[in-house]
Amino acid sequence: MKEGFRQSMAWLHSWAGLLVGWILFAVFLTGTAAYLRPEISYWMRPELALSRPGPADAEVAVKAMQGMAPNSPTWFITLPSERETTTRVFWREGGGRGRGRGFREAVLDPATGHPVEARETMGGEFFYRFHFQLHYMSVLWGRWIVSICAMFMLVAIVSGIITHRRIFADFFTFRPGKGQRSWLDGHNVCAVLALPYHLMITYTGLVLFMLMVMPWGIDRAYPGGRQAFNAEAFGSAPPRPRANTPAPLAPVLPLVEEAQRRWEGGRVGRIVVANPGDANATIQLVRADSERISYNPQSLTFDGPTGALIQDSGEGRPAAEVRGWMYGLHIGRFAGPFLRGLFLLSGLAGTVMVATGCVLWAVKMRQQAAKKGRVGFGTRLVEHLNIAAIAGLPLAMAAFLWANRLLPVGMEERAAWEVHVFFIIWGLCFVHPLFRRGRQAWVEQFAAGAAAFALLPALNALVTQRHLLATLAEGDIVRAGFDLGLLACAALLGVLAWKVARHQPATARARRPAPKAALMPAEAAE
């Protein structure tokens, strides 16, 4: 090898980062938004009133499921919590294995058990799902793509640490207004100061999909299938076959109380009922994931008809528990409001790190191009994609919220159309830089995003009763805070637009009297 170790690592870092940078940016930004999934969902269903979890929620939910899906082989019920004001259920459709696995879902009012009378929307669930399985493709494809991007990310992080020669000397160094130097500084500061988070989130993200990405060991050791593995690794009770003799389900409330007693006040978060209405039914109560870091849930499994305890699975064995910890750390549901704020901050740092990395690449290529005298197609492509991915995505996210407020409530496929609007706007952001080159495109997309976010609270006041003044008066902190957060997003994007617009590229001033193509915002070559 002619070059030094560090040079080859630098090469690896820039290519591993660039190739998947745009997807990583989207994954980071929507993943960061997913920390607020319940809050986003709550804001997107303005019809819902504030509610507090009550002791009868489980009973009501099970009754509702008996009405809605008596023949389903499995029900999954997620009970409301401090942050989640609805009961979310999904179930496997009964009878015959028709198309695919046939899952259906519903969002219920915890008090009545009826489907909520709210507009149809995916809510924060969309950002959450998009960040690990994308959209408009099979779930498996999306997960594979994101997993591969995460592997590149891990490579980029490790090679980046090796490449960064002055990691301690430049620990706090940020020198604004110095062109390429500033982009590198910004990239480094966001990367180094939140490094524990970046490593954690990337590595644990891969661990979440390890059974999908690397199934061979398990498939070899458990040729009979995953159930034997799951039973052994996670201590879940082995599934019981259907007896095909009907038997009513025992009341669930005493079981919930039993669980709370055993978990010393711990709350039941989820209920899984297998073969409801059958003599071999089981009811599994799973502890709420907000109470422990580890996502290996403690659970109790009861016999359906009698309510007798069959299995008490506590913490898993060491290997399973390590995975549970990593899982839990990644999704961060254990975090209280303050810690969630820290996660959010680090997530944003990661987003900025990816964005500055992509921009830095383009800035460097521009400089080389300036020496050679012509700008290659690759550089143009990267610049174009940077604009659409980095400035376009926030605009598309705002558009998603606009669609939530503007699409007619009774519309067919309403929830799907909210998502279509998101992608239509994002798609337009990919077209827009064809007509408005370089800096203008950056400014316009950032400014449009700022305006879209800034006007959302106003739109909210026009079309719903849940406007900022009302929510503040009611003490509905979540909705009021969300509106204020939208204004903060607007301010941030506004500052970015303003900074880019005001920026005077040094090269343009010095060497080119009338630049034909506008330059990157960063283009201030020394």
Partner 1 sequence: MIAFAAALSYAGFTALCLAMARHHEQVFRSRAVPAGRRRVLTALGWGLLALSVVPVVMELGWGLGLVLWLGLLTATAMPLAMLLNYAPRVALALAVTPVLTGIGLLL
Instruction: Report long-range pairs for 74-78 (Cβ below 8 Å, ≥24 apart).
Output: 74/272, 74/273, 74/274, 74/275, 75/271, 75/272, 75/273, 75/276, 76/270, 76/271, 76/272, 77/270, 77/271, 77/272, 77/273, 78/269, 78/270
Please say which residue, 334 or 423, places its beta carbon nearer to partner 1.
334
Placement of tokens 């070059």 in the chain = 3
Residue closer to partner 1, measured from CB, 137 or 345: 345
Closest to partner 1 by CB, 191 vs 362, is 191
Q: Which is nearer to partner 1, 93 or 291 (CB)?
A: 291
**Binding stretches for partner 1 (CB under 8 A):** 169, 171-176, 189, 193-194, 196-197, 293, 329, 334, 338-339, 342-343, 345-346, 349
**Alpha-carbon 202 to chain mean position:** 13
Q: How far is the CB of 35 from partner 1 (least distance, A)?
A: 12
Residue among 174 and 423 whose Cβ is closer to partner 1: 174
| Choice between 107 and 353, CB closer to partner 1 | 353
Rounded to a whole number of angstroms, the minimum distance from the CB of residue 330 to partner 1 is 12
The least distance separating partner 1 from the CB of residue 208, rounded to whole angstroms, comes to 17
- Considering the complex, state which of residue 141 and residue 172 has its C-beta at the smaller distance from partner 1: 172
Q: Are 228 and 222 in contact (CB under 8 A)?
A: yes
- Minimum distance, C-beta of residue 393 to partner 1, in the bound complex (Å): 22
Host H or E run for residue 309 = strand 309-313
The DSSP secondary structure of 262-283, one letter per residue, reads: HTTTPPEEEEEEESTTBTT-EE
Distance CA 234, CA 222 (A): 14
Instruction: Give the residue with the Cβ less far from partner 1, 103 or 172.
Output: 172
Dihedrals phi, psi of 138, to nearest 5 degrees:
-65, 150
Residue type, 52: R
CA distance 281 to 168: 60
Angstrom distance (rounded) from CA 234 to CA 324? 9
Distance separating alpha carbons of residues 507 and 513, to the nearest angstrom: 10
Of residues 353 and 519, the one with the C-beta less far from partner 1: 353
User: Nearest approach, Cβ of 338 to partner 1 (angstroms)?
Assistant: 7
What minimum distance in Å lies between the beta carbon of 341 and partner 1?
8
The smaller minimum CB distance to partner 1, of residues 5 and 171, is found at 171
Min CB(349)–partner 1 separation in Å = 7
Nearest residue (CB) to partner 1, 425 versus 524: 524
Query: Counting beta carbons within 10 angstroms of the beta carbon of residue 136, is it exposed (0 to 12), middle (13 to 18) or buried (19 or more)?
Result: exposed
Least distance (Å) between residue 194 CB and partner 1: 5
**Residue 208 to residues 149, 290, 486, 515, Cα–Cα distance (Å):** 14, 18, 31, 49
The CB-of-26 to partner 1 minimum distance in angstroms stands at 22
For the chain, first and last CA: distance in Å? 32
Closest C-alpha to 109, from 71, 34, 40, 53: 53
Beta carbon of residue 334, minimum distance to partner 1 (angstroms, whole number): 7
CB of 172 vs partner 1, minimal distance in Å: 4
Query: Looking at the DSSP assignment, which residues form a beta bridge with residue 107?
Result: 88
Of how many residues is the chain composed?
526
Quote the strand ranges of 381-461, DSSP E: none
CA distances (Å), origin 320, targets 18, 123, 297: 34, 32, 11
Residue placing its CB nearer to partner 1 in the complex, 11 or 171: 171
Least CB distance to partner 1 at residue 332 (A): 9
CA distances from 160 to 15, 163, 191, 357, 432 (A): 11, 5, 9, 11, 32
